[in-house]
Every structure is written in structure tokens, then in C-alpha cells.
Structure 1
């Protein structure tokens, strides 16, 4: 097949000090969007009546199990029309708590709600795990089909996650590892992973052991019970929900998991997990509608603020996108990603508005991930006014080859690039399109921008405007179309090339700034690369402007 032509025509720009590549005197194509017409989120309203758990015999001695007292108070409050159930100052040990309609569970300052590490208190129930129906241990806090519920106050909710989770040796210091191993449990044959119990280890050796199937008996699930870690907070099909002021910490798996909820407000929360906490996400919105997350901080072991909508065929059958979401004025410290979409996004995601957030030390800043088999359409994503620093991997990442690995390889871990193959487009082919990202500043990253689509499905219609990133390497765009970069400034310390393009077309770069003396400005690869425009850019600062390889050619080689 005859190679398509990569067209980059060199002109002298009148009145400038250098030359630029461009095919049009017009500025880069751009779409306008507004944060003025944001989604409306309905709010909760509670009766002023209060009910203390002390009335039900609860004791703050850290020994008494207060499960019955707390649940009785919530149930009675709901039956009487609702109100506020109060946890006074003190250490309240408990098993699973179930929220009920019209009840605000309020933790006074100094109140610590501590969930027990006695696994027998958590029955195995039908739930959800990473976008699939699963049998799990009952979540420490849960609600299903409830309306007008809240958890508020200035207290702390601790999920006792260390009792549940396995830990990788490479994520601890040598001293921490020795202490952990000496505490009990068992270590894998390769001496790289610690498990808290035999049941936990046994479950880890099976493929998808929590999956619901007729041949699995209660005895089977009990044999791997410790492996079926619950999410700390699971709210399923609830409406008008408020989470405000409290600290959620030390979850067995995901910390906050609203699933198929509507009208959710998350305000001024602190969400904390150890950085080694596997699956220790901050908040995962799954198939939710009308959500506001604001003024909250996250310091966790996996993704910080994450958008999901089910996994693979199950997510597509559910067909409930996460939509109409506002995220603003939040800070994410340690996490795999600051703001994340995917990878379980098979029901789609749309109408997401993110603004005025800071990511400090997250492995990746803005992280959008999926893989073949997911399906789903992610679109109409609007992000602005983001600050980042000390990002170990990519500042901005779009990746359709997600491989369920930590973003940053552990010491000694070898990773190969995915094998590039062309597959037919089906309902299982994911789609990323129509992203608008502006006003981003990042001080320190491994790579500035990485866009990697599939040969059969390009990532498309990405608009990046007013972006400044200091990084080790520059911009890498693969299998993409309709990419518009305007007023992008990258300062890679390794400057060959500043911008790499592979099998990408309709790429417009308007006003690119880069370090003077860069060895190579553009590398263009692949016979599908076409219609690449560079305007308002001083290309004379680079020692070499452009190279063509792997089937890419120029209409005129006299550049």
C-alpha cells in the first residue's frame, strides 16, 4: 500500500526571529467550552432531632463491640422520620454499619469509629469488585437503595485495612518488611509478598475467586474469605447523599465507592491510606450521576479521584455512564493518579468538569486509561487550572493499553512495550474523545504528555491549551487524530525529540515553546501520520527540526 504523505511545509514567518512549520496562516482549531453551566446536584435535608448511640448502650472503651447499638440507633432514627445519629467523642469499636434513609450519621470531633479486625463480624455478601458482580465481605459501612443519607462531622472512620491487605516487599523499607513478617501471616514462595493469613494467600492463587457462579458453595467462599477484601464505604443505588468533614482512612480496599448513586456531594473530606495499600483508591465513582466533589484531600495507595462505570461486558450491559460530575478545589498527594478515568469504564463517562486541583507526588497527574475488551465511550471531559509537582511518571496520560500495573515500575521490574496489532472494531473497542484541558502547570515529571491509542481506534479530539511542564522527556503521541496543542511549553531535560508522533493525523501544534538548542524538535513515524501542522513556533532554536522514519515521509524533503 502506498504510504500516505506527512505534510509539514516550511515557511518564513514575517516579523519573527525564526522559522516555523505551518500549513495555514490561521490559528489552531479550538473548541470553546464553559464552566458556567455546571450540573445541578440535589442536596440532603434532615430533621434536627438527634439520637445519641449512648442511649443504646454503646461504650467508648475500644473493647466493647458497638455494632448492635449503632445500627439500632440508625434504624430507629430512620423509622421515626429521620434525624441525626450522634457518635460522641471516644473510641467506638464496631462491626459493619448499615445506613438508612433520612439519617445523618454525625461524628463529633474526637470521635474515632474503629472497625474490628475480627473477620467473623463481616458476612460474605453479593457485592461488586472492580466493576464486576462479586461475593465479598460486607463493607464496614454500606447502604443500598436509600435516600437522603449522610456521614458528617469532624471524626475519623478507620477501616482497619492492615488486617486485610497483602503487601509487596518492594513497597516497604527492610526494617518495615521484617516487622511485618514477624507479626504473623505468611510470605509467598518468591519472598516478595506478605499475606495476612492462609485464606488470603489461597485466594490470591486463584483466578477471579470472588466471581459469582452456581458451583461455588458457601464453604468455598469461606475458604478464601480473608482474600475477599471489602471497600470501606459502599453505597449502592442511593439518592441524595452527603459525605462531609470526616476523615476516612485505612480501608481494606477502595476507600469510598458510590455505585449507581445519584445526587452525591463529597465536601471537605480527608481520605488517607498507606501508600503501599494495594487497591487502596481514594474515591471511585462508578456509574453515578450528578456528583460534586470539593475541598477534599486524598493521600492513598492507588488512584486518588477516579471515574468508573463497570467492566467489560458487565459494564456495557449495565449501560450506566458516570456523568455530570464536578471536581474542584481538591488536593491529591500520593496516588497512582491524581484525577483518573478508567480503566473499568465500559458504561462510559461524560460531562466531567475538573478545576482548581493540585497533585503533589502522584505517580501520574491526569490519568485516562482503558484497554481492549472494555468498550465504552469517554467524552466531554473538561479540565482546567491544575497544578502539579514531583510526578514520577507522566503529567498527562491517555493510554488504551492499560496493563493493570503500577504506573512506576518497582526496583528490578522489567516491562516490555505492548505488541502492536490491528484488531477489528467491535462493541468491546473503547473510545476516548473530546477532552479539553487548559491552564496546567507541572514542575517535575518523567514525561510531559503521553497519548497512546489503538491502531483500530485512535484517541481523538484532544485539546490542550496553555500547558507548562518541566519534565525529563517531552511529548509522545501515538495512534491519535484531531490533537490540538496551543501555547504548550515543555522543558524536557532529555530533548531528543521534544515531540514524537507515531501514526497520528490532523495534529495541530500552535505556539510550542521548548529549550533552546534541543537536539531534535520533531520525530514523525508511521505511514498513517498525516496532516501535521506547526504554526507560531520558532523552530530555529533546535539543532535539527524533523526526522521521518518507519514509513513516514514528507511531501518535500527540503526542510
Structure 2
């Protein structure tokens, strides 16, 4: 035990020292294009919102790449199109006033072998896709609209009564006692199955066709590409995830606006999956699911791929409506490491910093460095680490009942996920349900997390379960519920240095469970607290020291 405590102390000291040093950021190779311009009008495109321009726009892209590359120019107008394939050395540039509108006609989207949530599946072709392309870009000041409302199911509780009535009157199918709307019978059939899109010998083309509507495409999918630039454009109304770089590298995302309805099922902003050398900066996200999300494949498929998302820089971004502002997981089976997040603002996001996983994933998330984060009006947790992710929205809808997970200790193997070695500093939160929530597994604690220089204004304080080697330094928690301010369950080696809290606190610390040990407070004022420590359920007050 002494060796473990010493190791934790040294590791936390090293993490804190690194936080004070200048980050050595990864390098991201940039795109470069020739000056040749290929206006889509020269290939027959018509900007009337009625004419289907798929062939014309694709012809412009094909001609551009065949002649060595350049700019495919989309002038102002409403350009209706089917799915497009971006190719090497092509910069698809949308002028201000240009909207690339993808058709609602699902027959225009062929079924293709693709990837969904980390494993291979049959999907409808994405509105914009590229594979094995080098030096590609989507730039300008225009809009790319995925017409996602034609694809998505919608929950009644997420709409007003008038919106719901109009949606039901438009057609589609009702399910789950009339509380869920689906766009078609084909969608409903697929929704009732487990993994209908997963590729297997027993499924033929007729089967996939029968549930085609269920296979919602992501708006932009860039697979195994190198040197990618997304700049200036508004990406909106995606059928599923909006931006999805997959197994790609040297990606720059700058000054984009990603916009999905807040009720959009799986309406993520950007999902980096098994990508490396990435810069995301000065961009805004207002979406229906996670905002800035790091992934690396799901369960055995992700572990077999063994490609972590790594060497990522995120800075100067703003996230509004989202399930999480900056998110890791839950599909992180290939690992996530060396991610640097700074100067980001989360306003109204369900969770601020969200780390989520569950048993079966495996994978290691480590060396994540976060600083200068500003949050306002967070409905859930400002900072969350949860290894019991249950694939549900983080904030329960009115009347929705949820049960706590069953707590049991299992054997550690390749399916056991890990969160470790994560440093968070300079966090300022004006309004949250809870300041910090850490929940590991009995067999695998959330390990070596450092939070420093933080001010949390929240309804609840800090809760720590099944965690080890956690450090809070110069952290202030001003919570409405001060009984207790800090709740620790079966966790060890927790340090609070220069900890401040509400003056009317009743109980500073509650300990629960026989696994609690080596808890320490120092440089903290205790004179205004009614009760410093309360021990329950097998815990002992002797496990904590106050200096």
C-alpha cells in the first residue's frame, strides 16, 4: 500500500508540474491547392433548389482531381444534390450565399459498406464522403445542409405540442405507445432489431433494402484520408453524426459552425474516430448530441483495429446545446491519448467535460490535458468521469425513470476500460447541477485525475466513487446542497489542497464503504463547517486527515 501511495503522489506531482509547463503540441500538416477553378455551373449545375445537380457537381470534382487539383467553386444559390465523393487535391469552396442542399429522396443514397459507432455496417452513402484521399478541403462561407429531418426519429417529449402534432400529420409511424415518431415503416422495422446493419453472411441485399431507411448516414465522412481542411462553412441538419473523420490524419477544422436541432438523435457535432494529428479551433457547435467527441472504435472491433485517437489540439471553441461539450467515448476501445484542450466555452451543454465508457469497451484513455474552460448553465455535471455509461441522454426527460447500475466486482481483462492520468486546470463554472462526478468500476478505478484552479457554482458539490489518486488543488465549490460538500465512496488516495466551499456548509465530507482510505485535506479553513466528516457503511473517520 505504501508503494502504491508513493507512486500516486509522484505521478500527481509529475502531472501538476507538466500543467505548469508550456505544452509541446503536435504538428498538423496543412493542405495546399493549385489556383485552377472549376465552377459547378460550367458542368451544368442549376441553383434553383429543384434541379438535382449530383452529376454536375461530381463531374466538376472529377475533372478537378484528374487535372491535378484546384478549387471546385459553388456560387451563391440553392444547389440540390445527392451524395458526393470528394477526391484528392480538391477544395470544395462554397461562396457566401451558397447552400448545398442534400435531397430528401432516399433512393438517391445507395447502400454501401461503411462504419457506425465503431464497427463495420451497411449504411446509406453519406452526403459527402472521401476515402484514401490526400489534400482535400471544404471551405468558404456557405452552408451544407443534410436534410436530416427526413431521416431521424423524434421523441415526443423533445417537442412542443404544436411541433409534435405537425410532425405526426406529416406521415411516418408512431411507436413506443405513441411517444416516438419514425419516418417510415422501413425505419421502424430496423429500429426493432439489434444491429440490423452489421455485416453478416446470413443477410442478403433484400434484407438490407427492407430496412434501408434505418441506416442514417453521417453528413461528412472522411475515411483514411491525409491532409484535410474544413474551414468557414456551416454544416447543419445532419441525419446522424455531422462531421466524422475516420482513421484519418493531419486534419484542420477552423472557424466552422456545426448546427443540428437539439432533439436530433445521434446528432453529434464532430467525432474524431481513430484519428491523429488534429487541430480544431475557433469553431462553434450547437447540436443534438455530443459536441467535440473523441472515439476509437467499439468493443472487440475497436480493440482489433487498435488505432487510438491521439495528438489532438482543441482550442477557442464554443459548444451550446449538446449532451457534452468536450467528450471522450463511449466508443474508445482503441484508446485516446495526447489530447490538448484549451480556451473553450460551454453554454447550456448537458455536461461540460464528459468522459464515458462501460464494461466491454476495453481501451485506455490517458494523457488528456485541459485548461481554461468556461461554463454557464450546465444542466448536469460540469466535470464527469463515468464507467457505467448506459447509452441514455445524460439528462432524464420529465417522468423518465432510471435505475442505478448494479455494483459488482468482475475480473480485469482486455474488455476492462481505463481512465487515467488526466489533468484539468483553470475551470470556471457559473451554474451546474453538480460540480464533479467520478465513478469508476470496483475492479478498475478512475485513476490519477488532477483538478486545479477551479471555481464551481453548482447545486451539488463533488461525488467520487471507485476512484484513486485524485487531487484537487485551489478548488472552490459553492453549492446549494452542502450536506455533504464532498461525498467519497470506496475511493482511496484523495487530496484536497486549498479547498474552499460555501460558508453555510453542514457536512464537509462524507465517507462511505470499507474501500475508503488515505483521504487528506490541507490549507483549508474548517471553522464555518458544522461537521467536518461523517463516516457510514463501513468507512472510518480515521481514513481522513485534516491539516
1:452 is matched with 439
2:145 is matched with 158
Return closer, same or farther for 1:29/1:95 CA change in 2, 3 Å cut-off. Answer: closer
1:31 matched to 2:16? The reply is: yes
| Distance (Å, rounded) in 2 between the aligned partners of 1:462 and 1:499 | 16
Q: Does 1 or 2 have the higher relative contact order (CA < 8 Å, sep 6+)?
A: 1
| Distance (Å, rounded) in 2 between the aligned partners of 1:352 and 1:521 | 34
1:256 matched to 2:243? The reply is: yes
1:31-72 deviation line (CA, Å, top 9, x unaligned): 222443100000000001101011111100111110001111
Q: Is the 8 A contact 1:450 1:475 kept in 2?
A: yes
1:411 is matched with 398
1:135 is matched with 122
Q: Is the 8 A contact 1:66 1:94 kept in 2?
A: yes
Q: What are the within-5 Å matches in structure 2 for residues 37-436 of structure 1?
A: 37-436=24-423
TM-score (norm 2): 0.96
Q: Is the 8 A contact 2:519 2:543 kept in 1?
A: no
Q: CA deviation at 1:186?
A: 1.4
| Distance (Å, rounded) in 1 between the aligned partners of 2:22 and 2:179 | 47
Q: Is the 8 A contact 1:367 1:396 kept in 2?
A: yes
| Distance (Å, rounded) in 2 between the aligned partners of 1:189 and 1:531 | 49
1:531 matched to 2:514? The reply is: no
TM-score (norm 1): 0.94
Q: CA deviation at 1:30?
A: 5.4
| Distance (Å, rounded) in 2 between the aligned partners of 1:558 and 1:408 | 36
Return closer, same or farther for 1:285/1:528 CA change in 2, 3 Å cut-off. Answer: same
Q: CA deviation at 1:29?
A: 8.0
Q: CA deviation at 1:541?
A: 1.3
SS in 2 for 1:555: helix
| Distance (Å, rounded) in 2 between the aligned partners of 1:462 and 1:79 | 51
- Alignment RMSD (CA, Å): 1.6
SS in 1 for 2:542: coil
Q: CA deviation at 1:417?
A: 0.9
Q: CA deviation at 1:554?
A: 3.3
Q: Is the 8 A contact 1:28 1:510 kept in 2?
A: no
SS in 2 for 1:226: helix
| Distance (Å, rounded) in 1 between the aligned partners of 2:118 and 2:528 | 49
| Distance (Å, rounded) in 1 between the aligned partners of 2:191 and 2:32 | 44
| Distance (Å, rounded) in 2 between the aligned partners of 1:245 and 1:506 | 46
1:202-224 deviation line (CA, Å, top 9, x unaligned): 11111111110011011101111
Q: CA deviation at 1:556?
A: 8.6
SS in 1 for 2:452: strand
Count the aligned residue pairs: 536
2:6 is matched with none
1:226-281 deviation line (CA, Å, top 9, x unaligned): 11000000000000000000000000000000000000000000000000000000
4+ residue runs over 6 A deviation: 556-559
Q: Is the 8 A contact 2:518 2:543 kept in 1?
A: no
